[in-house]
Structure 1
Amino acid sequence: MDIIREVMALPVDNFLGMLIYAVIFIFVAGLVFSLALKFIPNRLPYAVKSLIVFIAIIISLIVWWQMIVEPGLRL
């Protein structure tokens, strides 16, 4: 458990920390997309549904950039 705490402190300088953050990100992104797709009504046009999914992808990419990539660039 101490190893996991240590690698999560600064994940961009070791592979295990990056892997743990990637798994967490994939799980959260999948959950967000699943919820977005579940609550989009079927009566909406295909373009609107695609736009909602696109916005969810952009938000998850922004969160990914802020949480994982940007701290690594500051090193």
Structure 2
Amino acid sequence: MDLLRESMATPVDNFLGMLIYAVIYMIIAGLVVGLALKFIPNRLPYAIKSLIVFIVIILSLVLWWQMIVDPGLHI
């Protein structure tokens, strides 16, 4: 357990930390996109549904950049 805590402290420095953060990110991004797809009404046009999913994906990528990549670049 100490190895996992040390890996999560500075994820850019080691492969295990990056792998753990990538798995966490994929699970959360999949959950957010899945929820967005579940609650989009079917009567909306296809273009609007695609735009909503695109916005959700862009927001998750921005969140990923702010939480994982950007702090790693300043180490």
TM-score under structure 2 length normalisation:
0.98
Which runs of at least 4 in structure 1 moved beyond 6 Å after TM superposition?
A: none
Over the matched positions of the two proteins, sequence identity in percent amounts to 76
Q: Deviations over 1:18-66 (max 9, x none)?
A: 0000000000000000000000000000010000000000100001001
2:4 equivalent in structure 1: 4
1:25 equivalent in structure 2: 25
Stretches of structure 1 that go unaligned for 5 or more consecutive residues are none
* Distance of 2:44 and 2:18 partners within structure 1: 38
Counterpart of 2:13 in structure 1: which amino acid? Answer: D
Counterpart of 1:51 in structure 2: which amino acid? Answer: L
Cα displacement (A) at 1:72? 1.2
Aligned CA-pair RMSD:
0.4
Count of paired positions: 75
* Distance of 2:27 and 2:2 partners within structure 1: 23
